[in-house]
Structure 1
Amino acid sequence: MTAMASALIALGGNVGDVRATFRLAIAEICRRAQATLAARSSDYATPPWGEEQQPPFVNACIAIDTAIAPRALLAILHDVERMFGRNRAQETRWGPRTLDLDLIAYDDVTLDTPDLTLPHPRLFERGFVLVPLAEIVPERRIAGRRVDEAVTRVSRDGIRPLPSAE
């Protein structure tokens, strides 16, 4: 039996019915990664970041338990993005997208390769990731920092929880 790892994944999008996309994408991630969904944050409306002349985003985070290795999990996330119409080669950096999936952390693994850096290198700059993450794993330590402490050090301007989709 392979040991299970706890992976944190950030979801974002601002094209189409993003919340429906999240529901379908989370199920697909869990199916492909033979993962158990351990926690799912609320959905948050967030202002666009980087390229600001575009619609607001919806962001959320999930925690999954999986035995799939980090690189293989990243490949699954990219496949799921493509399933929902994302084409990384053709898009504008920080531009509009149907689905953006980022592997934020994988247990306490530290990795720095051309295709994958863990934990995510810009995690501690991004309120749109830290706010939903703090909702589901407030006490989790990432790179020695507690999520609930890190979230107090970033701007949360314009980030608001959306009403439950159920």
Structure 2
Amino acid sequence: MIHAYIGLGSNLDTPMAQLDRAIDTLQKHDDVKNLRVSSIYGSKPVGPQDQPDYVNAVASFQTDLPPLALLDLLQSIEQAQRRVRERHWGPRTLDLDLLLYGQETIQLPRLTVPHPYMLERGFVIKPLSDLAPDTLLNNGNTVIEQLQQLDTSDLVIIKEE
């Protein structure tokens, strides 16, 4: 079994309900064990600012799914919740990103792990620190050390873990 971490985000169509449905779907999936979810945070959008604020969280779980099968599962959950992709870094009903897949480094046309932008995003690193503060990242920092290098002043806890 591999320990996976995913980022969850939404800013359209009742964002908290979007995250709750995605978490519920993951929890009921046969290939997802020991699901844990961080606190849920509100944050300003990355990219275009003419969109609603986001809600974000990180989930961790054990799985025996290979990386692309896990990506397929995440994308099927997004599609089931009518994922909207209007523009790059634009608003979305649900975004599920595979952040970490064990300690593996993956470079495939459809998937890059660790997630290529996670180290610079407080809305990812802060909830990841709720679950795995001492995890070593690919840049040599622990999650908590990486968090100390980021501006997280726009993050607001919406729901405690």
Residue segments in structure 1 that go unaligned for 5+ positions in a row: none
Mapping of residues 93-104 of structure 1, within 5 Å: 93-104=88-99
Matched, 1:53 2:50: yes
Deviation at 1:25, TM superposition (A): 0.7
In structure 1, C-alpha distance between the alignment counterparts of 2:100 and 2:159, rounded to whole Å? 27
SS of corresponding position for 2:83: coil
Q: Deviations over 1:98-120 (max 9, x none)?
A: 10000000000101111101111
RMSD over aligned Cα atoms: 1.5
- In structure 1, which of residues 111, 135, 140 is the aligned counterpart of residue 135 of structure 2? 140
In structure 1, C-alpha distance between the alignment counterparts of 2:30 and 2:129, rounded to whole Å? 24
Which residue of structure 2 lines up, in the alignment, with residue 151 of structure 1?
Answer: 147
Sequence identity percentage: 36
Whether the 8 Å CA contact 2:2–2:64 is kept in 1: the answer is yes
Residue segments in structure 2 that go unaligned for 5+ positions in a row: none
Deviation at 1:27, TM superposition (A): 2.0
CA 1:37–1:7 in structure 2 vs 1: closer, same or farther (change >3 Å)? same
TM, length-normalised to structure 2:
0.93
CA 1:149–1:33 in structure 2 vs 1: closer, same or farther (change >3 Å)? farther
SS of corresponding position for 1:124: helix
| Count of equivalent residues | 160
Matched, 1:83 2:80: yes
Which residue of structure 1 lines up, in the alignment, with residue 24 of structure 2?
Answer: 27
In structure 1, C-alpha distance between the alignment counterparts of 2:83 and 2:30, rounded to whole Å? 19
Whether the 8 Å CA contact 2:27–2:35 is kept in 1: the answer is no
Whether the 8 Å CA contact 2:38–2:57 is kept in 1: the answer is yes
In structure 1, C-alpha distance between the alignment counterparts of 2:124 and 2:75, rounded to whole Å? 18
Which residue of structure 1 lines up, in the alignment, with residue 113 of structure 2?
Answer: 118
Q: Deviations over 1:40-71 (max 9, x none)?
A: 11110100111111110000001011111111
TM, length-normalised to structure 1:
0.90
